[in-house]
């Protein structure tokens, strides 16, 4: 994730919106039971955390797939591994 996007994600004062989602009652009961054990103030913050974790994992996977595809394309176009590694180092700050 880009540093700018990460900074926004960590802002506790991000705007929120209300949604309605249908979930099985037993799942809600399980969330209510687990939330305090994990240090959450209620089941809704826990549900948001679970959604956020899954979303971040998918975004990372999808961004990684794009980067992998780009690297493969650059190699097919004759760009050397050294140049690709140097460019990746510039982008990632390594």
Q: For the chain, give every domain's residue range.
A: 23-92
Q: What is the pLDDT of residues 26-83, one digit of tens each?
A: 999 999 999 999 999 999 999 999 998 999 888 888 887 888 888 888 989 999 888 8
Please report the pLDDT score of residue 36 as a whole number: 97
Place of tokens 């926004």: 8
Alpha carbon distance 79, 84 (integer Å): 7
- Return the SS3 of 51: helix
- CA torsion through residues 57, 14, 33, 31, sign: negative
Task: Enter the pTM of the model.
Answer: 0.63
Structure tokens at 70: 């780009």
């Amino acid at each position: 994730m880009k540093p700018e996007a990460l900074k926004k994600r960590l802002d506790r004062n991000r705007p929120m919106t209300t949604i309605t989602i249908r979930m099985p009652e037993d799942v809600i009961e399980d969330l209510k039971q687990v939330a305090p054990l994990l240090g959450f103030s209620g089941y809704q913050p826990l549900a948001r955390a679970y959604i956020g974790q899954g979303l971040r994992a998918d975004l990372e996977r999808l961004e990684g797939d794009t980067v992998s595809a780009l690297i493969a394309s650059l190699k097919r176009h004759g760009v050397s591994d050294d140049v690709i590694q140097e460019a990746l180092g510039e982008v990632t700050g390594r």
